[in-house]
Amino acid sequence: MWITGAAVAAVLIVGGAGLAIADPFDNDGPLTGSTLDKASAAALDAAGSGTVTGSDAGSDDDAYAYEVEVTLADGTDVDVALDKSFAVLWVDGLPTGAASAAPTTGSGTDDSGTSGTDDSDLGALSAADRDAASAAALATLPAGTVGTITEVERSDDFDHAYEVEITLENGQDVDVELDASFAVVKVDGAPTA
């Protein structure tokens, strides 16, 4: 009897492992075939030159469909994020002044939470942009709430173009992230009405 039980357990374990390996909804992992060829070509074009040293398909939670790692001649690793049509979304880690087919402002973030660009690389903020960002940020406050804009800057994060800090009368800070058209993306520390 114990032999039958052991055999059933072995079949269940092996069968379960087979299902886990063959999960049709698990589409992350290394790229292969024509997908790898197309993604590599797009990434090398964006990075300027180098060698493809890694690739993977994004999961449903990722903002990209494919990510390709390119190692440049100087040893720098560059990550290139692509959409489903192999268009470049962002390039992470590209040295300043290097050629790229993709914009480096609005780039993605790496595992450390930083992007491939530095805030100082983003250029000066015009008075018109500063005023528009300030007005959009102040509009997020509940009626009657008084706040002072204490900082407005361009962002190097891929999900927003501007960051505005508001200090309320009570000393609380509110951080507002805006997209390139000054629409609110996120508000941290917002007071309630």
Break the chain into its structural domains and give their ranges.
33-117, 127-188
131: left (phi over 0), alpha (psi -120 to 50) or beta: alpha
The SS3 of residue 107 is coil
CATH class of this structure's domain 127-188: alpha beta
The predicted model scores a pTM of 0.42
**Is-same-fold flag (33-117; 127-188)?**
yes
Write the DSSP assignment of 135-161 as a string of letters. HHHHTTSPTT--EEEEEEEE--STT-S
User: pLDDT grade, residue 163 (50/70/90)?
Assistant: very high
Identify which has the larger pLDDT, 75 or 100: 75
CATH architecture of 33-117: 2-Layer Sandwich (3.30)
Identify which has the larger pLDDT, 89 or 175: 175
pLDDT recorded at residue 74? 85
What is the pLDDT averaged over residues 51-62? 86
d(CA 46, CA 69): 11
**Cβ within 8 Å of residue 120, ≥6 positions away:** none
- What would the pLDDT profile of 13-24 be if each residue is shown by its tens digit? 555 544 444 444
Token pair of 166, please?
């508001």
